[in-house]
């Protein structure tokens, strides 16, 4: 059984994570039809838990010390711990080749890695500050302290002006517009009617924007049903609902 390590859920629905990178793995496990459970970790516990299960660091801090980040998984069937969403997707393909669609077809792996690590994140970049502020205020006081230690520094009590927010949304629309041009008339990024890791990365970005604004908000309605012919709402809905017949959904512990 695979254990997915995630932050404590703050939102409703089957994808309650507030991390787009964990959401990628949650999508990947669903699309591959691989049963899994979720174990929640506080921000301040990430390194200790990673070291406990043998998950490697994903980057190096400026002072040269290793940095551990979510997501990571532990597979009891192979006694393997894997960190980083792209590496996890590759592990799932290699270890469970007959389960669900292949997320990283060989000839697309390099391009998908680039898209997932760069282009897929850009729509969220301009909205990162209001999103982090929202997440901060949903956390308990003790978790807030740890949350301020990860990611970029920000003032959780900053009041954003309407003009600032409008500019952020304009940047997000421009970023999605570039992806809209890349996709053209295609409904997916790589393979028709089957998701790949690139689709999961982009959908994870859309998901956290939906969380940030609220599913019933005017902003999400605009993005999901008006921008670029209303493709993004349909796209996310397809990724959220796609699952092979033998897929078992996870529950939080």
What pLDDT, on a 0 to 100 scale, did the predictor assign at position 248? Answer: 38
Identify whether 109 is part of a domain.
no
Domain stops at, among 51, 72, 104: 104
- Which CATH number fits the domain that encloses residue 143? 1.20.1050.10
Largest distance between two CA atoms of the chain: 52
Q: Let me know the angle formed at the C-alpha of 128 by 14 and 240, rounded to the nearest 5 degrees.
A: 20
Whether residues 62 and 118 share a domain: the answer is no
pLDDT digits (tens, 9 = 90+) for 106-139: 899 999 999 999 889 999 999 999 999 999 998 9
Count of positions (residues) in the chain? 253
Residue of 220, 140, 129, 104 lying closest to 173 (CA atoms): 220
Per-residue pLDDT at 145 exceeds 60: yes
Cis peptide before 153 (omega within 30 of 0): no
Q: How many helices (H) and strands (E) does the chain have?
A: 11, 6
On the 0-12 / 13-18 / 19+ scale of CB atoms within 10 A, 240 is middle
Domain stops at, among 40, 74, 104: 104
- Which CATH number fits the domain that encloses residue 7? 3.40.30.10
Q: By residue range, what is the domain housing residue 9?
A: 2-104
Q: Give the pair of three-digit tokens for residue 86.
A: 């792209």
Whether residues 125 and 84 share a domain: the answer is no
What pLDDT, on a 0 to 100 scale, did the predictor assign at position 53? Answer: 98
Provide the number of structural domains found in the chain.
2
Identify whether 20 is part of a domain.
yes
Whether residues 134 and 165 share a domain: the answer is yes
Residue of 219, 126, 215, 122 lying closest to 177 (CA atoms): 122
Q: 244 pLDDT band (50/70/90 cuts)?
A: low
Whether residues 172 and 130 share a domain: the answer is yes
Identify whether 184 is part of a domain.
yes
pLDDT digits (tens, 9 = 90+) for 57-97: 999 988 999 999 999 999 999 999 999 999 999 999 999 99
Identify whether 126 is part of a domain.
yes
């Amino acid at each position: 059984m695979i254990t997915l390590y995630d932050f404590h859920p703050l939102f409703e629905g089957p994808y309650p994570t507030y991390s787009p990178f964990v959401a990628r793995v949650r999508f990947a496990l669903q699309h591959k039809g691989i049963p899994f459970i979720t174990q929640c970790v506080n921000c301040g516990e990430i390194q200790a838990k990673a070291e406990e299960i043998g998950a490697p660091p994903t980057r190096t801090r400026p002072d040269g010390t290793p940095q551990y980040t979510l997501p990571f998984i532990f597979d009891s069937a192979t006694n393997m711990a894997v960190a980083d969403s792209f590496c996890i997707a590759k592990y799932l393909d290699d270890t469970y080749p007959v389960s669900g669609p292949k997320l990283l077809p060989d000839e697309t792996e390099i391009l998908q890695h680039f898209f997932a690590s760069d282009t897929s994140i850009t729509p969220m970049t301009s909205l990162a500050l209001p999103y982090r502020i929202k997440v901060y205020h949903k956390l308990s006081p003790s978790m807030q302290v740890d949350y301020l230690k990860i990611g970029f520094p920000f003032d959780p009590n900053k009041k954003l002006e309407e003009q600032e927010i409008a500019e952020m949304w304009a940047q997000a629309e421009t970023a999605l517009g570039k992806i809209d041009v890349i996709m053209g008339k295609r409904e997916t990024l790589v393979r028709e009617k089957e998701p790949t890791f690139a689709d999961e990365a982009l959908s994870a970005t859309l998901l956290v924007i939906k969380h940030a604004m609220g599913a019933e908000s005017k902003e999400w309605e605009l993005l999901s049903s008006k921008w670029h012919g209303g493709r993004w709402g349909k796209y996310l809905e397809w990724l959220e609902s796609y699952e092979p017949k033998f897929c078992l959904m996870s529950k939080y512990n």
